[in-house]
Amino acid sequence: MFCVTCQVPTNKYKCPTCLESYCSLNCYKKHKEADCESKQSLNTPTSEVSHIEEPTLHEPFSTKDTVPRKKLEMLKDCAALHRLLCNPHLRNLLKEIDVTPDAWKAMKAAMQEPLFLEFADECLKVVEPQVADDCN
């Protein structure tokens, strides 16, 4: 990925409107001054914009480990996850994992954090309840 403004290689930040990558606050400000538009609104009629899925939720390469979308959506109603996500350290850890070029390495490191393990366990209780129950 390259910064949309200065073309420096980066994967640090993404514009919330158009999802283009940028490397710094200055580049973001320049990008916003250039009338940044949502990619969704450029390619889709306005009546359909509200029905578009978030890009990170697509399942382009399903495997035996892919969690079905309906189960993923159940996560948003889990009170224990909401409580855990109030922790800024956990949120920062999740953001780092999301933007790292080596996700496997980042996940391996995160699994050393008790807070992340608690988060992962709560997620598993929702998406694979029978497996989580068998482990207790």
Domain co-membership, 100 together with 131: yes
Please check the confidence at residue 134 and state whether its pLDDT lies above 70. Answer: no
Residue 70 lies in a domain: yes
Domain co-membership, 115 together with 68: yes
Extract the tokens encoding 1. 């990925």
Residue 98 lies in a domain: yes
pLDDT single digits (tens) 95-133: 888 888 888 898 899 999 999 999 999 999 998 887 544
pLDDT at residue 83, rounded to an integer: 94
More confident residue, 37 or 90: 90
Structural contact between residues 37 and 18, judged by C-beta atoms closer than 8 angstroms: yes
Domain co-membership, 43 together with 64: no
Going from the C-alpha of 115 to that of each of 16, 26, 82, 106, 128, the distances in angstroms are 27, 34, 13, 15, 20
pLDDT single digits (tens) 14-64: 887 777 888 888 888 888 887 676 554 444 454 444 444 445 555 566 778
Structural contact between residues 9 and 1, judged by C-beta atoms closer than 8 angstroms: yes
How many independent structural domains does the chain possess?
A: 2
| Element (DSSP H or E) covering residue 107 | helix 103-110
Q: What is the pTM of this model?
A: 0.51
**Closest listed residue to residue 111, CA positions, set 99, 126, 128, 123:** 123
pLDDT at residue 120, rounded to an integer: 92
pLDDT at residue 59, rounded to an integer: 53
Domain co-membership, 76 together with 130: yes
Structural contact between residues 57 and 48, judged by C-beta atoms closer than 8 angstroms: no
Domain co-membership, 128 together with 87: yes
Residue 97 lies in a domain: yes
Structural contact between residues 23 and 2, judged by C-beta atoms closer than 8 angstroms: no
Domain co-membership, 92 together with 112: yes
Residue 23 lies in a domain: yes
Q: Work out the percent of the chain whose per-residue pLDDT is above 70.
A: 76
Domain limits for position 123: 60-135
